Amino acid sequence: MHLDTPAIVCAMLPHGEHGAVVRFLTPANGIVAGYVRGGRSRRLRPILQAGNGVALSMRARVDTQLAAATVELTDARAALAVGGAAIAALDWLTALTAAALAEDDPHPALYRALDALAAAIAAGAGPLALGEGVVRYEYLLLSELGFGLDLSACAATGTTADLAYVSPRSSQAVSRDAGLPYAAKLLPLPAFLIGAAAADSASIHDGLKLTGHFLERDVLTARGRDTLGARERLANRLPPR
């Protein structure tokens, strides 16, 4: 296997005395994992921070062998993430990506979205913009993995007007009138997800509740649930409702 590609660092695990196994998101190959010799050295640790963009080269003699990887820094995003919300957002987005995606399964839309979000974080995007970006990324990830939400029309009446809820069972939108008697059992649908209003702090927290329900139910296995602490830290650092 020979691969030369731009990539985003998503996760790093120690391996041996100085090395590391690193998971990268690439535009054409999805998540790939490789062994970086000296990955925990003083020189490479700053490069292999989650969220950084790198030029990645991977080589393996056979497909079943863990590839040897070398990296060159192209976009230093992690060091430019300033503030608790920015750092927490970058930690959560990369951890979610590494945990949720299978290796060698291409998701070019997710690569573009994560690359844009990491760049926005490095450029100093505010907490509201970060919160909206995270909800939209989670929404996209659910769709890419086959667990997309149907927000096109009310599941009960078929109307496309005044959609306000989502059924936690069917993943379908519900209109305000149809859902009001069952509101306690439904999930709030933030208007910004369907282009009906701009995002504010309340709707961002509603969005996190919505996507979080389906991520926990459908995507994050027992192993992936270990990453949810990063999501909670992010929610706590966003503006309150």
Nearest to 116 by CA among 194, 44, 43, 25: 25
Whole-number Å distance between alpha carbons of 217 and 196: 27
pLDDT of residue 65: 82
Check whether 230 has a pLDDT greater than 80: yes
65 and 91 part of one domain: no
Residue 193 is part of which domain span? 84-151+189-237
**Residue 144: inside a domain, yes or no?**
yes
In a domain, 6, yes or no: yes
**Could you report the per-residue pLDDT of 85-142, keeping only the tens digit for each?**
999 999 999 999 999 999 999 999 999 999 999 999 999 999 999 999 999 999 999 9
Residue 23 and residue 71 in one domain: yes
Q: Tell me the pLDDT of the chain averaged across its residues.
A: 95
Domain boundary among 19, 46, 80: 80
Q: Is 179 exposed, middle or buried (0-12, 13-18, 19+ CB in 10 A)?
A: buried
> For the residues of 130-198, what is the DSSP string, one character each?
HHHHHHHHHHHHHHHTT---B-SS-TTT---SSEEEE-TTT-BEEEHHHHGGGGGGSEE--GGGGTSS-
Q: What token pair was written down for 224?
A: 């992936």
Indicate whether 175 belongs to any domain: no
* φ, ψ of residue 186 in degrees (nearest 5): -105, 160
Does 223 lie in the same domain as 204? yes
Q: Write the pLDDT tens digit of every residue in 153-179.
A: 999 999 999 999 999 999 999 999 999
Q: Same structural domain for residues 16 and 98?
A: no
Is the domain of 120 the same as that of 36?
A: no
Between the CA of residue 36 and those of 9, 12, 26, 71, what are the distances in Å? 12, 10, 16, 8
- CATH number for the domain including 42? 2.40.50.140
Quote the pLDDT of residue 226: 85
Q: What is the pLDDT of residue 221?
A: 79
The confidence band for 241, taking pLDDT boundaries of 50, 70 and 90, is confident
Residue 137 lies inside a defined structural domain of this protein: yes
Domain count, the chain: 2
Domain boundary at 80, 105, 124, which?
Answer: 80
* For residues 188-193, average pLDDT: 97
* % of residues, the chain, pLDDT over 90: 92
If asked whether residues 51 and 130 sit together in one domain, one would say no
